Amino acid sequence: MLRVRPSFNEQRGVALLVILLVVAIISILATEMVARLQLNIARTINIKDNNQAYWYAIGAEQFAQKSLGELKALSPSNINLSQPWAQVFEYPIDGGGIQAELVDLQACFNLNTLGPTAVPSVPNTEREGPVPVPDETPNDSTNTNNPSAAPKTPAEAFYNLLTLSSANIDSFTAETLRDSLIDWLDADSNITDLGAEDADYEALQFPYVAANALMGNKSELRLINGVELSFLRDVLPFVCVIPDVEYNKMEVNINTITEDNAVVLAALLNLPVEDASRIIASRPEDGFSDLAAFFAEPEVARQNLTQEQKEWFILSTNYFMLRTKTRYNEAGFKMTSIFKLDGGSSSEGVSVISREFGGIN
């Protein structure tokens, strides 16, 4: 068979096509490499900016920690809203800024107070008699002998808070939520009246079980039986959680509670919200000088508080929450820190017991 060799011009055409194909492939690879390089550069810049914003937040936390140590040393027995800590701190920086706000965690209703009272850990050799077992059974939500009397337990006060809030919660729902919260916090599986335990939560479409432990964040309230989204947003501003397993006492600082949180004071005293607002509005600028002045207020004096009820009200604070927002270039960062004041005259007496990143703070 006769074979015809390609001409020189035809060979040149094929070579040109191969060269063009190689150039196209190289161009595509180069474009892809440049795009990836730009992406990596942008990613590196974002990581750098976010890290910088994070360290600004940590710096604000350390500054607040030092300031709280000085506050506790200068005014250990009277923490009030006229002091510098109560002001929003804003500090501009090149390419961004820092905003920090301290909030008194003992100027709201601590949900963990409905949990069982912790039994102090005492060595067996030092105990005299059997270890006391706390009574976890709440009293009725109202005092049947005197409906206007102040609540005797935190459970009664929580019922008052739910019914007095702007959420318009009916008594049955309030009782259900109160009892379910008690069951959520206690360590046993016994159902309290209208409460709920594991079996109730396991029957849901998306099942889970009761925590049977103190809360770490007030957002857990969403999980409690009886809670409805229609009123949850109205209740959350009045409640808080102190994530300290060694602390679940009812103590509210009457010098830092605001008129916006008057419902909390009204719930603890079983007063109309208007009366509680008047007490807060008439409070001296630097707060009550002593508890006797607070108990002498006409609305408070009429309640004839017992010594146990009076111990709910304090003038000092040992737990603060710091809300920090930082911005650097295009990066933003949010952090929430909770401080515990253990005493002392420096930041060494102030410890960070909880820290959360991001979210709505």
Q: DSSP string of 272-339? A: -HHHHHHHHHTS-TT--SSHHHHHTSHHHHTT---HHHHTTEES--SEEEEEEEEEETTEEEEEEEEE
Report the pLDDT value the prediction gives residue 349, as an integer from 0 to 100: 85
* Residue spans of beta strands (DSSP E) within the chain: 89-93, 96-104, 109-110, 239-240, 252-253, 313-314, 319-328, 331-341, 350-357
How is the chain split into domains, by residue range? 45-105+319-357, 109-121+137-314
Phi/psi at 177 (5° precision)? -65, -40
Phi/psi at 326 (5° precision)? -125, 155
Strands 252-253 and 313-314: parallel
Report the pLDDT value the prediction gives residue 346, as an integer from 0 to 100: 52
Give the closest residue to 56 by CA, choosing from 94, 88, 85. 94
* Domain 109-121+137-314: homologous superfamily in CATH: EpsJ-like (1.10.40.60)
Q: Sign of dihedral through CA atoms 190, 193, 198, 203? A: positive
The answer to whether 45-105+319-357 and 109-121+137-314 have equal CATH topology is: no
Other beta carbons less than 10 A from residue 168's beta carbon: 10
User: What value, to the nearest 5°, has the Cα angle with vertex 138 and ends 109 and 146?
Assistant: 85
Query: Which pair of structure tokens corresponds to residue 217?
Result: 């964040």
Report the pLDDT value the prediction gives residue 23, as an integer from 0 to 100: 87
Q: Residue 52 and residue 95: Cα distance in Å, rounded?
A: 11
Report the pLDDT value the prediction gives residue 130, as an integer from 0 to 100: 40
Q: Residue 272 and residue 106: Cα distance in Å, rounded?
A: 21
pTM score, whole prediction: 0.80
Q: What is the mean pLDDT of each run of 10 residues along the chain (361 residues)?
A: 59 78 88 88 89 94 93 91 93 92 96 72 37 42 62 95 90 96 94 94 95 92 94 94 86 96 96 96 94 95 94 95 94 94 69 84 43
Q: Residue 255 and residue 253: Cα distance in Å, rounded?
A: 5
Q: Residue 16 and residue 281: Cα distance in Å, rounded?
A: 89
Report the pLDDT value the prediction gives residue 246, as an integer from 0 to 100: 78
Query: Which pair of structure tokens corresponds to residue 342?
Result: 């253990």
Q: Residue 361 and residue 359: Cα distance in Å, rounded?
A: 6
Element spanning 160, H or E: helix 154-164
Q: Sign of dihedral through CA atoms 238, 244, 245, 249? A: negative
CA distances from 206 to 62, 201, 203, 212 (A): 41, 8, 8, 19
Domain 45-105+319-357: give its CATH code: 3.30.1300.30
Q: Residue 59 and residue 68: Cα distance in Å, rounded?
A: 14
